[in-house]
Amino acid sequence: MQNLLIVDDEQALRNGLAHYLSQLATPFDVIDMAANGQQALAYFEHHSVAAALIDINLGDLNGLDLIELINQRSPQTLIVIISGYDDFDFARRAVKLNVLDYLLKPIPRSDLQKLMQTFKTQLTPTVTVRTASTTNLAQSGQAYIEAHYSDHNLSLAQAAQRLFVSETHLSKQLKQNCGQTFSEYLIDYRMTKAQELLRNPSLQYSVGEIAHKVGYEDAHYFSRVFRKKVGVSPLQYRQVN
């Protein structure tokens, strides 16, 4: 099934586009709408989207930022920007995001007809495989952990919020693509960074300092986790390395 998603915070424009496109011969089985970036991202979590028409100025999220997130999770989706602004900087960034087209409002019907023909030539009737998008989300989750592992308050909820996905969806994709839960990957990465610090003879941080640097407020708890994962205490590890 081929889905087209219209993302625009103007209800009249959304409805008008959807109504007009439903009267054309299009390659889409379903034409759906989202009123803002959050709704669009939620839609992508549960549907395979063949193409999307996205306004640049959304109420809660910049349209170009939304496109970057969609490119990470659903790189096969064809993106067309719809905007009321003929702005060179927007257009230049849109080119870098590999959007299919950039249409200015009000959009002439002839342009919409041409766009549907373009979609027909770009899309195939084969079922879209979402492996690439889920892999990208898992990689984004790993990258977020690696960038924020020293934060004592780092959590699955925080990462999911920053990546605009649900906790359940992020956790599921990490487990499927990385073989570890969020917590397991976080602990392993923290222990890896702790070992790097302990092996560096020029640093000589105390165990408490290392615990703090890798995201633990309690040095005793850090030492227990380290011994469980590595097999020796942090001080013993330093002595033999």
Q: Which of 180, 176, 170, 177 has its CA nearest to residue 144?
A: 170
Tokens of 21: 């496109």
190-229 pLDDT, tens digit each: 999 999 999 988 888 899 999 999 999 999 999 999 999 9
Looking at 93-97, 168-172, 224-228, which range is the least confident one?
A: 93-97
Rounded Cα distance between 128 and 62, Å, is: 27
48-73 pLDDT, tens digit each: 899 999 998 887 888 888 998 898 88
Looking at 91-95, 121-125, 170-174, which range is the least confident one?
A: 91-95
What is the pTM (predicted TM-score) of this model?
0.53
Question: CB of 74 within 8 A of CB of 98?
Answer: no
Q: Would strands 30-34 and 101-104 be described as parallel, antiparallel, or unpaired?
A: unpaired
**Which residue is associated with the tokens 């605009």?**
164
Rounded Cα distance between 55 and 62, Å, is: 9
Amino acid sitting at position 211: A
Q: How does residue 75 score in pLDDT terms, banded at 50, 70 and 90?
A: confident
Predicted local confidence at residue 126, as pLDDT: 44
In degrees and rounded to multiples of 5, residue 83 shows phi and psi of: -150, 150
Q: Would strands 78-83 and 101-104 be described as parallel, antiparallel, or unpaired?
A: parallel
Tokens of 54: 């996205």
Tell me which H or E stretch contains 111. helix 109-122
Q: How does residue 101 score in pLDDT terms, banded at 50, 70 and 90?
A: confident
